[in-house]
Amino acid sequence: MNFIFRAGMHNNALRWALALGFVAFIAAGSAWAAPGAHGPDGEHLDAPGAAARADGLLRLPDGSVQVPMASQRLMGFRTVLAQAAQVPQTTELPGRVVQDPNAGARVQSPLTGQIEAGPRGFALPGQRVRAGEVLAYVRHLPDPLAGASLQAQLAELRAAQTVAEQRWQRLSSLEGSVPRREIEAAQAEVYSLQARQQALSAGQRARVALRAPVGGVIARAEVLAGQVVEGREVLFEIVDPARLLVEASTADVALGQRIAAATLAGMPGVRLEPLGSGAALRDGLLPLLFRARQSPPSAGNATATAQLPLALGQPVTVIVQRTDTLQGFVLPAEAIVRNPANQPVLWIKSGAERYIPQPVQFRALDASTVVVHAGLGADNRVVVRGAALLAQIR
């Protein structure tokens, strides 16, 4: 009887031990989610990559990310509520920086010759010069046949001068018996032959000064000491950095009459003033001309440099604002990032620590802002600073 009672006690203890072990197994298994388990925001907790990292950053299977508040402060996130607005339609055009013909110049060699340095040496790119300043000299280099012909002419002139001087001396010795006009004619012939020799000799070793037609900055200089250049070869190019033009091209011949404003993509410090469009197509495109101006200084930057951040021949993208309008959401350009599929997306804040990527369609409004016209709803809280950091969370 005692044996049976002890066996029963042993079985009950065994049952309790098994029950406690099962409960412990369930508690320990809570670290792994069952298939199909969801979190408080609907995320799949059983998917790969759902385990939180040591820094608390977490990318969920649906593409959204979870960022703790402390990390948000460190990354400097900033969000705004999207508000719909009526904005101008925009068109992006390829263009390039050209010089103003009234404020620039090209210095060409007027003859074939050899380059020599000017009084201050050779003008270098970036050096400011004054109108009329000597940039370099070109010494004439005749070809061998022309040089031989010139030497033959000089020899003939020297011989003719010798004969003319002898005749002049003979007539001068007979002064009083010969007419005065014959003596004067012989003297004039001697002076004429001397002047012709001097002109030919000076032309043989002529040196032409290359002067700056206008004041400005040397944009291009292609000269070296001893360099032999051809006539009409461009040696210097002078520009005024504060007076540059931008030439764009478009296939829309009516666009020139619908331009309200224009800017350069990625250059918020430059604004463009439309000057007009050409009256003829060039390679099937209509050229549009703009004058580049320095943007007025902002409140945070009270000073602005007079020199534009542009270089002659630089390719640029012109953002033209048309007179017709478009309904959309105006946001900073840095709010647009690319997802792994290279689609433009905005990051929407859906909770205190959760951000969702939203594919959108947008157009550039000016150098620093865009207008989102598809994919975004009203009153969405959009990340406008730190979006690139969110896209890097893996």
Q: Say what the pLDDT of residue 217 is.
A: 92
Can you give the pLDDT at residue 203? 63
Ramachandran bin of 63, using left for φ above 0, alpha for ψ from -120 to 50, beta for the remaining angles: left
Q: Which of 146-150, 198-202, 279-283, 316-320 has the highest mean pLDDT?
A: 316-320
Average pLDDT over residues 310-321: 91
Please give the pLDDT value at position 290: 95
Banded pLDDT at 30 (limits 50, 70, 90): very low
Bridge partner residues of 372 (DSSP): 329, 362
Token look-up 């404020």 returns 103
Query: Across residues 17-30, what is the average pLDDT?
Result: 38
Task: Please name the residue that has the structure tokens 């010759």.
Answer: 113
All domains of the chain, ordered by start, with CATH?
Answer: 58-88+326-392 (2.40.420.20), 90-98+241-295+312-322 (2.40.10), 106-239 (2.40.50.100)
Count CB neighbours of 20 within 10 A.
10
The CA–CA distances, whole Å, from 211 to 40, 127, 203, 223, 373 equal 79, 14, 20, 14, 55
Q: Indicate if the pLDDT at residue 113 is higher than 70.
A: yes
Residue 49 pLDDT: 43
Lowest mean pLDDT among 8-12, 72-76, 96-100, 179-183: 8-12
For residue 34, pLDDT beyond 60: no
Helix residue ranges, H only, the chain: 2-28, 69-75, 144-173, 180-204, 387-391
Instruction: Give me the pLDDT at residue 276, please.
Output: 86
Q: What pLDDT does residue 150 have?
A: 72
Residue with tokens 């400011």: 128
The yes-or-no verdict on residue 33 having pLDDT over 50 is: no
Over 80: is that where the pLDDT of 35 sits? no
CB 160 within 8 A of CB 243: no
Residue 158 scores a pLDDT above 90? no
Inform me whether the pLDDT recorded for 318 exceeds 70.
yes
- Give me the mean pLDDT over the 4-8 stretch: 41
Mean pLDDT along residues 199-225 = 85
- pLDDT of 51 reads 47
Confidence at residue 306, expressed as pLDDT on a 0 to 100 scale: 60
Q: What is the pLDDT of residue 135?
A: 93
Backbone φ/ψ region at 313: left (φ over 0), alpha (ψ -120 to 50), beta: left
Flag whether pLDDT at 334 surpasses 80.
Answer: yes
At 243-298, the pLDDT tens digits run 899 999 999 888 888 898 899 988 888 889 999 888 888 888 999 999 999 877 65
- Rounded CA gap, 115 and 110, in Å? 12
Residue pointed to by tokens 């103003």: 100
pLDDT for 44 equals 44
Residue 324 has pLDDT above 60, yes or no: yes
Q: For residue range 349-366, list pLDDT tens digits in order.
A: 988 889 999 999 998 888
What is the overall mean pLDDT for the chain?
80
Which position has the higher pLDDT, 175 or 232?
A: 232
Other CB atoms within a 10 A radius of the CB of residue 263 amount to 24
Using pLDDT thresholds of 50, 70 and 90, give the confidence band for residue 204. Answer: low
In the prediction, which pLDDT does 319 show? 92
- The predicted model scores a pTM of 0.62
Mean pLDDT of the 330-335 span = 91
What was the pLDDT predicted at 57?
Answer: 85
* Under 8 Å between Cβ of 67 and 79: no
